[in-house]
Amino acid sequence: MSIQSDKIFINLPVKDLKKSVTFFNEVGFGFNSQFSDENAACMVVSGHIFVMLLSEPYFKNFTQKKVADASKSTEVILAISADSREKVDEIVYKALSSGGKISNDPQDHGFMYAWSFQDVDGHLWEVIYMDESAVNQG
């Protein structure tokens, strides 16, 4: 029996919730105000994917482990898809102009194009376009 789930909620600790919300708004993400307050903001990636930006003090209520400092270490790379190579570039350029930093140079594998950035807390985001017709042929 395999696990089947139709939604994913990613909990991400942030140092300054308002700064993070401003950053991701400028990148182009929307937020669900019904699930947002002074401790958390529900960022909508798609109809099935949500990133809960949680202030670090609030995030600490959900774990007994030390919260990693994303500016110094990496625990996860969040990868999102884009509809085209141009959209990948557009998202990353918006992130850079909003205070983000380059994580890696663009990677062009022919059928797949990716570029990554760090958000204002240092979390790594990779934006990927994949030509699915090229993938399905082989």
pLDDT tens per residue, range 15-53:
999 999 999 999 999 999 999 999 999 999 999 999 999
Q: What is the 3-state secondary structure (H, E, C) of 29-63?
A: CEEEHHHCCCCEEEEECCCCEEEEEEEHHHHHHHC
> At CA 77, angle to CA 76 and CA 80, rounded to 5?
135
The CATH number corresponding to 1-61 among 3.10.180.10, 3.40.50.2300, 3.40.50.10540, 3.30.43.10 equals 3.10.180.10
pTM of this structure: 0.90
Asked whether the domain spanning 71-138 has the same topology as the one spanning 1-61, the reply is yes
71-138 fold: 2,3-Dihydroxybiphenyl 1,2-Dioxygenase; domain 1 (3.10.180)
What share of the chain has pLDDT > 90, as a percent? Answer: 89
Q: Where are the domains of the chain?
A: 1-61, 71-138
